């Protein structure tokens, strides 16, 4: 949130603050929030425990910034996906994989916050304010599908946003599976989902019944 471009006066920071945040995020993803003690964070960051409190005031303050940091990449999701072009299957593949990648980073952070009701409510408020959540992906894909629908590339009798929510949800489930340490292969591969969905979206409908 700070202005990185402005020239700084005085002694440049030693990087302790960033090291602490990085250590906290690593610990959060690797060992879970209950093992994220200020002691461990300090040890991994290579600073003393008091530094943690100097920079972030208290444990909750550190967690708050770690959550925001962990959810950050979501902002760049739209550009990364490059959700445009006539090749629908390609768009679905690109966007789907991008969502999945992002969620595999973000879900551990989201679930970690649920360990404490207060933390969870605080994070939820932050997400509501910044309009974060699965609906973001749904909206991005929904707009693309609506555009294709206007161009007659998608059948007219479906709700683009509803279909988008199905696809984004599929990616979420896959990322969820991975986050919960369950085997992804117990679910059908994303390519199969894209296959079927693409056919069902075709304007002419499927082949005539046998």
Partner DNA sequence: GTCTATAGGTTGATAGAC
Partner DNA sequence: GTCTATCAACCTATAGAC
Residues that bind DNA (CB under 7 A): 13-17, 36-40, 46-51, 53-55, 57-60
Question: CA dist 7 to 11, 22, 34, 201, Å?
Answer: 12, 24, 39, 53
By the rule CB under 8 A, 86 interacts with a second copy = no
Among 59, 134, 143, 146, binds a second copy (CB under 8 A): 134
Query: Which option in DNA, a second copy, none does residue 120 bind, with CB closer than 5 to 8 A by kind?
Result: a second copy
DSSP string, 54-86: HHHSSHHHHHHHHHHHHHGGGGGHHHHHT--SS
| Span from 55-63, 69-77, 85-93, 134-142 in contact with a second copy (CB under 8 A) | 134-142
DSSP string, 140-208: HHHHHHHHHHHTTSS-TTS-HHHHHHHHHHHHHHHHHHHHTT--GGGS--HHHHHHHHHHHH-TT-SPP
Cβ closest to DNA, residue 11 vs residue 185: 11
Query: Which option in a second copy, DNA, none does residue 128 bind, with CB closer than 5 to 8 A by kind?
Result: a second copy
Cβ closest to DNA, residue 91 vs residue 113: 113
Supply the minimum distance, in Å, between the C-beta of residue 205 and DNA: 58
Structure tokens at 131: 């309009």
Cβ closest to a second copy, residue 47 vs residue 123: 123
Query: Which option in DNA, a second copy, none does residue 89 bind, with CB closer than 5 to 8 A by kind?
Result: none
Cβ closest to DNA, residue 17 vs residue 101: 17
For residues 183 and 70, is the Cβ–Cβ distance under 8 A?
no
């Amino acid at each position: 949130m700070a202005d990185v471009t402005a020239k700084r006066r005085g002694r440049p920071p030693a990087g302790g603050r960033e090291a602490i945040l990085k250590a906290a995020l690593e610990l959060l993803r690797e060992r879970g929030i209950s093992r994220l003690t200020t002691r461990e964070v300090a040890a991994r960051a290579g600073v003393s425990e008091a530094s943690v409190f100097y920079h972030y005031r208290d444990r909750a303050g550190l967690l708050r910034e770690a959550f925001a940091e962990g959810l950050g990449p979501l902002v760049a999701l739209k550009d990364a996906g490059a959700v445009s072009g006539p090749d629908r299957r390609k768009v679905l593949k690109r966007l789907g994989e991008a969502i999945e990648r992002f969620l595999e980073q973000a879900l551990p952070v989201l679930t970690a916050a649920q360990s404490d009701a207060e933390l969870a409510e605080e994070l939820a408020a932050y997400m509501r304010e910044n309009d974060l959540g699965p609906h973001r992906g749904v909206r991005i894909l929904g707009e693309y599908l609506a555009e294709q629908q206007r161009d007659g590339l998608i059948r007219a009798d479906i709700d683009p946003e509803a279909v988008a929510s199905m696809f984004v949800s599929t990616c979420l489930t896959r990322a969820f599976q991975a986050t919960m340490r369950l085997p992804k292969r117990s679910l059908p591969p994303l390519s199969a989902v894209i296959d079927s969905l693409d056919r069902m979206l075709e304007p002419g409908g499927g082949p005539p019944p046998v």
